Amino acid sequence: MILTTLLLLSFQLLGRAEAFVQRPWDESYALANAKVAQMTIDEKVGILTGVGQFNSRCVGDTHPVDRLGIPAICFQDGPAGLRLVKGVTGFPSGINTASTFSRRLMRARGVALGEESRGKGVNVFLGPAMDIMRNPKAGRGWESFGPDPFLTGEGAYETIVGVQSTGVQGCAKHFVGNNQEHWRYGVTADFDERTMREVYGWPFLRSVEADVSSVMCAYNRVNGTSSCGNADLLGPNGFLRENGFKGFVVSDWGATHDTAKDVANAGLDMEQPGDWIVIGGGDFNDLISGLKPAVNNGDVSIDRLDEMVGRVLAAFYHLGQDSGFPAVNFDAQQPSTPTALARRTSMSRLEFVVPPVDALTAENAGAGAAALATSLSNDLDAGASAARDRDVAVVFANAMSGELGFYDVVVGNMGDRNDLDLWFKGGSLIERVAAVCNNTIVVIHSVGPVFMPWSSHPNITAIVYAGAPGEMTGPSLVDVLYGRYNPRGRLPFSIADKETDFGTSIVYDSLTGFPEINYTEKLLLDYRYMDANGITPRFEFGFGLSYTTFVYSGPLSIVSSASGARAVTFTVANSGDVPGTEIAQLYLGFPAGAGEPKRVLRGFEEVALGVGESRSVTIMLGQRDVSIWDVVRHAWVVPPGTFTVTVGASINDVRLTGTF
Ligand code: BGC
């Protein structure tokens, strides 16, 4: 049996234009502050507030200051391509990007997202999303990079570097604890300092390290305080600034739940979109009408106002958007072909999608080709009868989810999934087809883990986990099925048999209004929880197959440097018959007593190898990779004792072990 994850990259990776060189922050601030000094209060407030979602050509626009040559700044979603824009690419989702375990491909996707944004005149690309998939049913989990903080952090880092290399601003979202759709406008996500640093905040820390120019605060509250009015997160001594963030904080669309005085003084710099009243606690979007009076009566100081504007303009100058940046050339109010399907499938329109059935049909056109029979309904009898006595049957089953409120109440699922079953009786269809065809290939399109009780059925010869792919899903799948492309993706989450195996849940119902969700599992998500509870998943984190095989050889060399970094070196060889790429993964076991999960992902490397070829691979462990967040010292600290390093093809397929 083959189970593999499939990455559907729908763009060319090579031959990109030279990376854009960013202007240093100090020069950018000097330019910004020179403009701020010439502005009236109304002009400043105009830069800090949106023009109104339905008045804007982009999903968000600031007010221009024409007399000073400052244009409207255009914000557009993100994160898997440009939403509500015609003629653009529907990129693979974040979760499929995570399944590459490839910084090279993460970066390349970021560059392509940036180039398309720039071409359309988008100043701020509203992505990447980096909310941890705390529970696999979380509606928007697939927009991000899964349940593992390290993998999510690398996805966030590379995407931002890629996007910003084109002169487009990235926007790290949604800060923070935006982990379910039900009650999202006011739910409070309650977690402790260590959980924040090591899990939910980690990708945002990596975003700051990637020099992200903007961060979007979330709809929800954190430990009882709204994300966009939370000085612990946004303030001068809060998480972002303390870690060196130099850009500006923008609210999620309608996430400003407190008064202008409160949010401005807490560290929010910009309110978007400027005209929404959403269901949430307190005053709404009060910056629009409330900021000027708050400045006039001294509740918000002129210095703070100037700082807010300075940050927004500095980001604009930092990315060089003051010269040669294309004008907006689309209208998000007039998107073409506004079909419900496109809205529901993705954060982009998938205007050019090539479905698998079309690609398979094209592959089998002409003389001597296989005779295809299709069943395109969800009818189980029709599916089984199309498959009966065929040489091979390919069964497609799916599970979707998305954003609450506007697009995604589908088949009774309101954003978050109701369960981990395949939709439209997909599991039953698979079993019915497998009963009548002894060469059944299952293709799963899903936003995250699904139950696969049928996976060991003797007639199921392959399972392709295609995830939530981009527009070239059909041709990519054909390439894999026909052996022209050797799969190399890995599961960015575990696939288990019971919801309780994941250790967290979605709060759907609350009789008392916005619920309080206590993240009592702390650091133990996905494989970490399973490890702690002796649960063996059906398919483990990091698992995936190839048409070739790989051999690891050691001994594992672990060399420490004076800086506290460690280089872990080993050799991988392709021992099979076709070229392929191995995803070597490094898991770290902390010393007993450090309070860490049994094993945590701390490194990965793609190793492309020809037949018979072998290569020495080095994975670096930095000082922070071997640290825990010490809540007494409020700092990263390396715990004393012996660390265990395992290297292998998945978390459970361990090939080499060492200690230091
Ligand atoms: C979403 C954000 C998005 C914004 C603008 C909000 O509803 O949560 O992710 O960027 O809308 O479209």
Q: For the chain, which domains are there?
A: 43-318 (3.20.20.300), 356-532 (3.40.50.1700), 550-659 (2.60.40.10)
Cα torsion through 109, 111, 113, 115, rounded to 10: -150
pTM check: above 0.75: yes
Q: Which atom of ligand 1 is nearest to the CA of 171?
A: 10
Residues of the chain with pLDDT under 70: 1-19, 276-284, 336-345, 347-349, 405-409
177-214 pLDDT, tens per residue?
999 999 999 999 999 999 999 999 999 999 999 999 99
Place of tokens 């980001």: 315
Q: How open is the CA angle 18-20-24, to the nearest 5 degrees? A: 145
Query: Which of these is catalytic: 77, 252, 258, 286?
Result: 252
Which of 274, 272, 266 has its CA nearest to residue 300? 266
Q: Which atom of ligand 1 is nearest to the CA of 219?
A: 8
Q: Is 252 a catalytic residue?
A: yes
Q: Which atom of ligand 1 is nearest to the CA of 78?
A: 10
| Ligand 1 proximity of 59 Cβ (cutoff 6 Å) | yes
CA of 130 from ligand 1 middle (Å) equals 13
Q: What is the pLDDT of residue 348?
A: 58
Q: How far apart are CA 596 and CA 17, in angstroms?
A: 43
Residue nearest to atom 8 of ligand 1 (CA): 252
Q: For the chain, what percentages of helix, strand and coil (3-state, to nearest 5) are there?
A: 30, 20, 50
Q: Which of 252, 276, 349 to mutate to test the pocket of ligand 1 (most atoms within 8 A of CB)?
A: 252
CA of 22 from ligand 1 middle (Å) equals 27
| Ligand 1 proximity of 94 Cβ (cutoff 6 Å) | no
Q: What is the pLDDT of residue 534?
A: 98
Q: What is the pLDDT of residue 276?
A: 63
Residue nearest to atom 7 of ligand 1 (CA): 253
Q: How far apart are CA 359 and CA 52, in angstroms?
A: 42
Q: How open is the CA angle 364-365-370, to the nearest 5 degrees? A: 40
Calculate the alpha carbon distances from 523 to 193, 295, 564, 594 in Å.
11, 42, 24, 12
Largest CA distance in the chain: 81
Written as six digits, the tokens of 303 are 């210095």
Q: What is the pLDDT of residue 277?
A: 56
| Ligand 1 proximity of 78 Cβ (cutoff 6 Å) | yes
In sequence order, the 6+-apart residues with CB closer than 8 A to the CB of 1 are 455, 456, 460, 461, 462, 463
> What DSSP string runs through 130-170?
----SSTT-TTGGGTT-S-HHHHHHHHHHHHHHHHTTT-EE
Calculate the alpha carbon distances from 182 to 92, 134, 162, 197 in Å.
25, 14, 32, 25
Q: What is the pLDDT of residue 18?
A: 53
Written as six digits, the tokens of 283 are 């005053």
Place of tokens 């904080």: 249
Q: Which atom of ligand 1 is nearest to the CA of 405?
A: 7
Strand runs (DSSP E) across 400-504, as ranges?
409-410, 413-414, 440-446, 460-465
Written as six digits, the tokens of 563 are 């800086």
In sequence order, the 6+-apart residues with CB closer than 8 A to the CB of 631 are 192, 193, 194
Helix boundaries (H) for 511-646? 527-532
Q: What is the pLDDT of residue 306?
A: 98
Which of 449, 404, 459, 395 has its CA nearest to residue 427? 395
Place of tokens 């960013």: 22
373-422 pLDDT, tens per residue?
999 999 999 999 999 999 999 999 999 999 876 555 677 888 999 999 99
Q: What is the pLDDT of residue 70?
A: 98
CA of 6 from ligand 1 middle (Å) equals 27
Q: How far apart are CA 553 and CA 542, in angstroms?
A: 19
Count the neighbouring beta carbons within 10 Å of the beta carbon of residue 537.
21
CA of 553 from ligand 1 middle (Å) equals 47
Helix boundaries (H) for 515-633? 527-532
Helix boundaries (H) for 319-436? 340-345, 356-363, 380-387, 426-436
Q: Which of 54, 93, 346, 403 to mutate to test the pocket of ligand 1 (most atoms within 8 A of CB)?
A: 403
CA of 157 from ligand 1 middle (Å) equals 20
Give SS3 for 606.
strand
Residues comprising the chain, all counted = 660
Cα dihedral sign for 231, 235, 236, 240?
A: positive
Cα torsion through 101, 484, 575, 601, rounded to 10: 10
| Ligand 1 proximity of 253 Cβ (cutoff 6 Å) | yes
CA of 252 from ligand 1 middle (Å) equals 6
